[in-house]
Amino acid sequence: MVIFGAGLRPDGSPSPTLAGRVRAALALGRRLQGPLYIPTGGIGRHGPSEAAAMAAMLREHGVADHRIVREDTARDTLASVLACAAILRARDHRGPVYAASSAYHLPRCVLLLRLAGVAARPAPPPPMPASSRWRKRWYWRLREVPALPWDAMLMLLAIARRRSLRRLLS
């Protein structure tokens, strides 16, 4: 299960959005047999990395270390997908992978994972934090309108470059 990061608070603690994504992953993980959690996200404005904060939350909820593979280099969704797809390929993972994120972000996460060759499905998203205002909710939803096709185009370009490079090397 790939858990997509979100910003941390200035003190390094998980934001409500990040905590909600981890709780959603944990809720689904309880229904799966031996899930592998891949929290992804680098260091943003406030450290530690988003992946480190999520891994700590997973451990606090009883997830064993061998079920957590941190990806702490990615600075955005596309980089997270590319890094997580590489981790899954290296582990020769062929089954479905659940993407855990906020409802507004899930379509982009799932699409990019599928373009990267991962059999992705959306995890049930967490509820929107009660503290979030309608303007903020709409900001994040509308932000996805240009982000989804932009990241999809960048993913397709990355795939084309990789194929070209393979042809040159063979």
Average pLDDT of adjacent 10-residue blocks, the chain of 170 residues: 95 93 97 96 91 98 97 96 96 92 96 96 87 75 91 93 83
CATH number for the domain whose boundaries are 2-169:
3.40.50.620
Tell me the residue length of the chain.
170
- What are the boundaries of each domain within the chain? 2-169
Cα–Cα dist 149/112, whole Å: 10
Query: What is residue 110's predicted lDDT score, i.e. its pLDDT?
Result: 98
pTM: 0.91
Query: What is residue 81's predicted lDDT score, i.e. its pLDDT?
Result: 97
Q: DSSP alpha helices (H): ranges in the chain?
A: 16-29, 50-60, 77-90, 106-115, 134-169
Which residues fall within 8 angstroms of residue 156, CB to CB, at 6 or more apart?
115
Mean pLDDT score of the chain: 93
Cα–Cα dist 70/87, whole Å: 10
**Per-residue pLDDT reduced to its tens digit, 86-102:** 999 999 998 899 999 99
Q: Which two tokens stand for residue 94?
A: 């062929």
**Which backbone phi and psi does 108 adopt, to 5 degrees?**
-70, -45
